[in-house]
Structures are given as C-alpha cells and as structure tokens.
Structure 1
C-alpha cells in the first residue's frame, strides 16, 4: 500500500490480459503514447514491473489462469 501525505491510501495491483487482434488498427489515445502487439518471445526484452513479468512467465509455462 501507498499512503500519501494528504491521507490518500492506494493499493497497487497488476492485471495482465491475453488477447488477439480481430480487426481494426492500433492507435494511441489520451492515456497512451505508443501501442503495439508482441509475440511471447518479444516480451522478454520489454521493460516491465516484476508482477507482470511473473504473469507472463506463468502463462508461457502453462500455469494459467493465475490469480494472486
């Protein structure tokens, strides 16, 4: 948990969803400056927090679904 000086408290969590494109095109929004699809092997070189990396490793090893 994170507690801020103004009294606000937040709980960190991570969500990792598996998907595949069905149509349309990728585009950025007000909340993103870059979007892309990656193969499982391409994710090895991407910067990410350890919680997401763990979820990807679980998925690649066949240990799904994983809820923690």
Structure 2
C-alpha cells in the first residue's frame, strides 16, 4: 500500500509541477503549506519551514487519500 501512496504522490507532484496553478491540487497544497507555516510561527518549538513542509505534506496526503 505504501508503494501505491508513493507512486500516487509522485504522479500528483509531477502534475502540479507541469500544470502549475491549473492543477486541482496546487491551491489546496499551497494553502496547507501557508497554514502550517503560520501555525509553526506561533509555536516556539517548531520553525516555519518545518510547518510549511508539514502543512503541504498533510494536504497532499488528504488529496491522495480523502
């Protein structure tokens, strides 16, 4: 199952890279990244880049496995 998830994620990220803002996953993933970065900025333990990656990763996962 994890191979399927990794393959799906690869296809999704490549599609987002090729289509840019026209891809249906781009806006939700960017929104998740922004929310993660803001949340991390409010938390003293986590830096904003970690929050950005975590937020983007979470939204990408939710797009792949709703």
State TM-score, norm by structure 1.
0.28
Q: Which has the higher strand share?
A: 1
Higher relative contact order (CA closer than 8 Å, sequence separation 6+): 2
Larger Rg over CA atoms:
1
State TM-score, norm by structure 2.
0.29
Q: Which has the higher helix share?
A: 2
